[in-house]
Structure 1
Amino acid sequence: MKNSIKIVAGLFLSSLAIMSCTDLELEKDVPNCIKQKIKKIQKEDVHNPPASVWEWKVESHTYYYITSNCCDQYNYLFDENCNVICAPDGGFSGTGDGNCPDFTAEIEKTLIWEDNRK
């Protein structure tokens, strides 16, 4: 009986490990560091409002905008190497950190991922 329980527990833990290693299925190809940020969010409690990741294309540059958990926190914009560029919005004032480039061209925004957990 004890061996049966150990086998079932082992199979359960193995299946959890396999599921946590699976690749994200995203509509677009994104840098690995952005995928890792999404996987980190998936391990946290559901954000309020739910987290989302957007691709921003401006002229020849690609950025990734990631929403934060709840109010008064910055929503950060990252480059393709996951370096923080700025916080376009969020924070106590809701207007970001004031360090974003002055985007003169139109920003093409595409939803990459949204947390659909309840």
Structure 2
Amino acid sequence: MIVLDTTILIDVLRGDSAARRVLGALAETPACSELTRVEVLRGVRPPELIATNTLLESLNWLPVTTSVAARAGDLGASFRKTHGALGVVELVIAATAIEASAKLLTLNVKRFPMFPGLRAPYKMSK
């Protein structure tokens, strides 16, 4: 299973060709944390709503369960000394991927220190 971070979805919605290639090359339908849905929808403008909803409907969605919430809290505590206060959204996305035994795809590699060797699947557009 592949879990996508918000950065990948935003790039797809912006028409980034590298992001679209990565998404199109996946052998399975990727999944996302429900918090990713919140992050995407909070920034959507009315003219973008149809395309955004079409993309969101094409993905599998993983709930924030009690075990995901507990894992997110544990991750935050574990990495606080070495990485400062990581964002709650990143912690929940990471915990979602870990609990699902999934690979995480993100451009925000520094925000996910709990995945040693994590690399961005493409270079961020400027």
Structure 1 and Structure 2 fold alike (TM over 0.5): no
| Structure number having the greater helix percentage | 2
> Bigger relative contact order, structure 1 or 2, given CA contacts below 8 A and separation 6+?
2
TM-score, length-scaled by structure 2: 0.24
| Structure number having the greater strand percentage | 1
Structure number with larger C-alpha Rg? 1
TM-score, length-scaled by structure 1: 0.25
